[in-house]
Structure formats: structure tokens, C-alpha cells
Structure 1
Amino acid sequence: MLEVSREQALAYRIAEQGLHRSVADPYDLPLLDLGLQDSMRDTAALSLTARMPDPVTPESLVDDARLALVWSHRGAPHFHRRTDLPELTAALVPVDDPDALARMLWQKKDIQAADVSPVDIVFTTARAIRKVVTKPMTKGVVSGEITKLLPPAFSRWCRGCNATHVHEQLMRIASLHGGARLEAGQSPATLAPLEDRGRMSTRPTPAAVSRLIEQYLRFNGPATQGDSAGFLGTAKTSVSETWPASLAEVKVDGRRTFIPADRLSALENPPSAAGVRLLPPLDPYTQGRDKAVLVPDKARAKEVWKILGSPGALLVDGEIMGTWRMKASGKRLAFSLAEFDPLRRSDRETAEDEAARVAAARGCQDFSVTWG
């Protein structure tokens, strides 16, 4: 069994995620096989800016007809290649009721009240979405319309909306099965029918789920079954049922983990992790579920992953060495960078160059950088 150090595993991960800027077109970035989350303003564009030779603007993502924004992993909005959507949709079909229940984030008492299996709840909601979303519609309108078509047990009281409507997470995980995508760049969130909906399939496709797990392990490995389940938003037992056969077991500083067997050579000899990057909140690199591997120090980890309002991460030579935030005031951006330990002057200067790239991606020529 191959045994590697934590530093070696992170260097491999940095290379697999494209942080060496060796790909010029976002569409060709291998990481897009897994998708790019876009939950906060410009997250996907800034994640690409950290990986592309030139800054990527949010408008260029919105205008790229080769990409689609959909609610996918954990019900979060992700950019995916349109050509990948059929395989992705198949991979997101719950393999059984425990899988569906975990994805829905319901309690067992809620299922008992509904008196319907979790899988049936998901696809009953998907059918309602397919019936309602025949043109671009705001999320609020869609929610209101499908609530009328669904049993009352599918709904919850929403304090923010001051209304009772379909459970938010349920609508999110059912939307892709219902043939709906998100209109990129729109606020409030707007749903629209996928141009090529195809027929809805309710049958699990274990092979598609296994391939999705392999993708997670390729870009975030070596990792565990629990890590994979956390990313998919399901239970570990559900992942074990579709655990890929083509994996190699690897020890990372004594921890038992897995990686696709065809990536072993890349793991054994990863390129140097040297370099500085400003990773936005919810960047794929910090979305790895093994946070203790990414940032072993618990106090520092609390600074990187906050319950509310997480900052971006300052990546220096393979280690997260600080955090960063930016604040817009008109057409001016103010960057605030905080280092965990004093950085070399050259690393600070490179971090400031990275801030200039982020400002360019946001369309701001006027920006400032302060260190705290």
C-alpha cells in the first residue's frame, strides 16, 4: 500500500484542481467534471480566476452557452458542462430511501407525517416542477405554484417568507430531475426549463454514482467514504453501496484513504505546490470534506470555515496561510488580507498581484489592499 505525507497529498490535489494554471479555456478544466459551486456572488468566476491564466469575469460564465447552472451537489448551485448533465442527473437519483432522506435533510418524524417514501417525495416534487417550469420563473413563483400541486406534508412554514411553502431543500434536489436549470446571473434566483429535458428517470444508476464518487476522489483525494458522503450530501452507508471498485487504498500520514487507481502515479510524483492563490469562499479546494487535513490547526480552521460569512483562503506554497475578504464601495474594491504567520515580502507582493486579478475579474480597476 502506498503511503504519502499530508504535504504530498495536498500538492497532488492542487495540481488536479488546476491551480497551476495550465488550462486556458474554463470549459477544458478537468475540475469542471465535478462542477463549480456558485452559491455566493461571483464564486465560480473567482475560482476560475485562481486557475486560469487570465481573469474570468462572471459575464463570461453567464454568456458561455456550453455551460449550465443547476442545483446539483447537496442542492447547491453549480456550473456544469451541458453535455455532462444527463450523466450528472443519473448520478443524483437516490439509490434508496435512506439516501433520499439524507439528501432532503428531513427528520424521520417528517417522513412519518408525509406517509410516503423519501424517494417518492423527491420524484413527486420533480414532476410538479416539470409541470410548472415551462418558462423562466423566479424561485418564489415556482415554489408557490408547486406547493399548490403537492401534499401539505411536503411544505414548511418559512419565517423569512412569512408563508408556508414546499421545503426549500426538497425543491432544490428535485429540480434537475424535473428538467429545470437556473438562469445564471439573475437575481432573484430564476428557474427555466432545460432546453433538452429528456424523460425523467426514477431508476437508480449505481454506475453513474460510482463515477461521481471517483470524480470527487480524483480532485479531493486521497479521501475516505465519509468525506465522499459529505460532499454528495448523503449518508456514508449509501456511499458504501456504490463504492467504486477501481480505487487504490492509500495511507496519508497513517490515515486510511482512497484514490482512483489511475491517479496513483500522479499522487506519487505531484508537481511542486509553490505559488500564491486567493481562493474565494466555497472554492472547490476548501470544499474538501477533510478540513483537518487542509488546516490541521483548529484555531486557524475556525478562521477559514466560519458558521456564517466564511472568508476566502490565502494559499501559499500548498498551505492555507491566511484569509482574505473584499468589500465593494461603488466601483472600488477594498481587500483585507490576514496572515496566520508573517509571510515573506515576495509572497505578500504576489498575493497583492492576485488581488489585482480578482479586481479585474470583478471589473474594478480601482482597488486597495491592506494587511491585518
Structure 2
Amino acid sequence: MLDVSREQALAYRIAEQGLHRSVADPYALPLLDLGLQDSMRDTALLSLAARMPDPVTPESLVDDQRLALVWSHRGAPHFHRRTDLPELVTALVPAGDPDALARILWQKKDIQAAGVSPVDVLFTTARAIRKVVTKPMTKGAVSTEITKLLPPAFSRWCRGCNATHVHEQLMRLASLHGGARLEPGQTPATLAPLENRGRLSTRPVPAAVSRVLEQYLRFNGPATPGDAAGFAGTAKTCVQETWPSAVTEVKMDGRRAFLPTDRLAALENPPSPAGVRLLPPLDPYTQGRDKTVLVPDKARAKEVWKILGSPGALLVGGEILGVWRTKASGKRLTFTLSEFDPLRRADRQAAEDEAARAASARGYQDFSVTWA
């Protein structure tokens, strides 16, 4: 059995995730096989800027018609290749009621109140979305309309909205099955019908689920079944029957983990990490579920992953050695970088160069960098 160190695993992940900037076309970025998560703070755009050799602009993702923004893994918004969407939809069909229950984050008492199975809850909501979303509509408008079509037990009181409406996670998970995508760059969130959307299918496709798990292991491996299940948004017990066959068990610092068999050679001899990258919050690299592998020091880990308002991560030579935040004031963007230990002058300069790339990606020509 192959035994690899933590440093070797991180070097492998950095290379697999494109952080060496060896791919010039965003569409060709292998990481899109799994999807690129987005958020209100330009997460996907900044993740792209950390991986592209050429400058990224605010339009790089929004205007790329080869890509679509959808609620996919865990109900989070991700950019995917449009050509990958048909298989992605099948990969998100729950394997059964326990899987569906884990994904929609309901308690058993909620399902009992609904009076139907978790799978039926999901696809009843998907049918309502398919009926309602026939043109671009804000998320709030869609929620209002589908709430009228669904049983009362599907709804919850929302303190933020001061209204009762369909459960947020349920709506997110059902939207792609309902043939709806998100309009990129729109605030508030706006849904629109998918072009050439196919018929609603409720049949599980284990092979499609296996490919998602295998892709997670490719980009975040070596990793455990629990890690992969966490990315998919389900319970570890729910991935046992769809666990990919083309994976090999390895040891990482003495712990059992798995990697796609065809990536073993890349894991054995990964290129050495070099340079500095500013990774945004929710970047695919820091989205790895084994956070103790990424940042073993507990105090530092608490700085990287906060319960609310996590900062970006400062990646230096293969290790997360600090965090960063931004604050916009008019047309000016201010970066605040915090190092865990004093960095070399060259690394500080490289981090400031990365800040310039990030500012340009977000459309700011006027920016400043402060070291905390």
C-alpha cells in the first residue's frame, strides 16, 4: 500500500486543482469536472483568477456561454460546463429516502409532518419549480409561487423574510431537477429556465453518483468516504453502494484514504508547490473536508474557517500561512493581509501582486494592500 506524507498530498492537490496556472482556457480547467462554487463575494471569479495564467475580468464567467450557474452539490451555486449538466442532474438524484433526507437537511419529524417520503418531497418541489419558472424570476418570486403549489408542511417560517415559504435547502436541491438555472451576476438571485431542459427523471443512476465521488477524490485526495459524502451533502452510509470501484486505498500519514487509481502516479511524484496564491472563501482547495490536513494547527484553522464570515486563505509554497479580507469603498478596494508568521519579503511582494490580480478580476483599478 502506498504511504504518502501530508506535504506530498497537498502538493498533489495543488497541481490537480490547477494552482500551477498551466491551463489558459477556463472551460478546459479540469476542476470544472466537479464544478466551481460561487457566492456573493465573487468566489468563483477569484478562484479562477488564482488558477489562470492570464488576467481574469468580471465578465470571464458571467459572459461565458459555455458555462451555466446552477444550485448543485449541497445546494450551493456552482459553475458547470453546460455539456456536463445532463449527467450532473442524474448524479443529484437521491439513491433513496435516507439519501434524500440527508440532502434536504430535514429531521424525521419534518418528513412525518409532510406525510410523504423524502424523495417525493424533493420531486414534488421540482415539479412545482418546473411549472413556475418559465422566464427569469427572482428567487423570492419563485419561492412565493411554488409555496402556493406545495403542501403547507413543505414550508417554514423565515425570520429574515418575515414570511412563511418553502424550505430554502429544499428549493435549492429541487431547482436543477425542475429545469432551472441561476442568472450569473444577478442580485437578488434570479432563476431562469434551462435551455433545452430535459424531462424530469427520478431514477437513481449509481454510476453518475460514483463519478462525482471519484472526482472529489481526484481533486481533494487522498480522502475518506466520509469526506466525499460531506462534499456531496449526504451521509457516509449513503455512499457505500455508489462508492467508485476505480479507486485505490493509500495511507496518508498513517491514515486510510482513497484516490482514483489512475492518479496514483501523480500522487507519488507531484510537482513542488511554488509561489503565492490568494484563495477566496469557499475556494475548492479550502473546501476539502479534511481541514486538519490542510491546516493542522487548531488556532490557525480557526482563523481560516470561521462560523460566519470566513476570510480568504494566503497560500504560500504549499502551505496556508495567513488570511486576507477586502473592503470596498466606492471605487476603491482595500486588502488586509494577515500572516501567521513573518513572511519573506519576496513572498509579501508576490502576495501584493496577487492582490492586484484579484482587484482587477473584480473590476477595481484603485486598490491598496495593508498588512495586519
User: Which of the five TM-score ranges fits, normalised by the shorter chain?
Assistant: over 0.9
Task: Please give the secondary structure, in 2, of the residue aligned with 1:241.
Answer: coil
Residue 85 of structure 2: aligned partner? 85
* Same amino acid, percent of matched pairs: 86
Question: Normalising by the residue count of structure 2, what TM-score does the alignment of the two structures yield?
Answer: 0.99
1:254-307 deviations in whole A, cap 9, x for unaligned?
010000000000000000111110000100000000000000000000000000
Q: Mark the runs of 5 or more structure 1 residues left unpaired by the alignment.
A: none
Within-5 A mapping of 1:23-102? 23-102=23-102
Residue 264 of structure 1: aligned partner? 264
Bigger Cα displacement from structure 2, 146-155 vs 58-67:
58-67
Q: Which amino acid aligns with 1:282?
A: L
Question: Normalising by the residue count of structure 1, what TM-score does the alignment of the two structures yield?
Answer: 0.99
Q: Deviation at 1:60?
A: 2.1
Question: Structure 1: how far apart are the matches of 2:252 and 2:58?
Answer: 37
Question: Structure 1: how far apart are the matches of 2:332 and 2:133?
Answer: 39
Q: Mark the runs of 5 or more structure 2 residues left unpaired by the alignment.
A: none
Task: Please give the secondary structure, in 1, of the residue aligned with 2:351.
Answer: helix
Q: Deviation at 1:57?
A: 2.2
The answer (yes or no) to whether the contact 2:158–2:164 under 8 Å persists in 1 is yes
Residue 166 of structure 1: aligned partner? 166
Residue 322 of structure 1: aligned partner? 322
Residue 352 of structure 2: aligned partner? 352
Q: Which amino acid aligns with 1:327?
A: K
Within-5 A mapping of 1:78-157? 78-157=78-157
Residue 275 of structure 2: aligned partner? 275
1:11-37 deviations in whole A, cap 9, x for unaligned?
000000000000111000000100011
The answer (yes or no) to whether the contact 1:48–1:55 under 8 Å persists in 2 is no
Task: Please give the secondary structure, in 1, of the residue aligned with 2:240.
Answer: helix
Q: Deviation at 1:135?
A: 0.4
Question: Structure 2: how far apart are the matches of 1:105 and 1:38?
Answer: 21
Note the aligned Cα RMSD (angstroms). 0.6
Question: Structure 1: how far apart are the matches of 2:362 and 2:168?
Answer: 30
1:135-173 deviations in whole A, cap 9, x for unaligned?
000001100100111011000001111111100000000
Task: Please give the secondary structure, in 1, of the residue aligned with 2:178.
Answer: coil
Question: Structure 1: how far apart are the matches of 2:43 and 2:16?
Answer: 19
Q: Which runs of 4+ in 1 moved over 6 A?
A: none
The answer (yes or no) to whether the contact 1:248–1:260 under 8 Å persists in 2 is yes
Within-5 A mapping of 1:264-303? 264-303=264-303
Q: Which amino acid aligns with 1:253?
A: D
Residue 196 of structure 1: aligned partner? 196
Question: Structure 2: how far apart are the matches of 1:114 and 1:172?
Answer: 18
1:320-352 deviations in whole A, cap 9, x for unaligned?
000000111111111100000111111011001
Question: Structure 1: how far apart are the matches of 2:54 and 2:324?
Answer: 20
Residue 214 of structure 2: aligned partner? 214
Q: Which amino acid aligns with 2:31?
A: L
Q: How many residues align?
A: 372
Q: Which amino acid aligns with 1:220?
A: N
Question: Structure 1: how far apart are the matches of 2:363 and 2:246?
Answer: 44
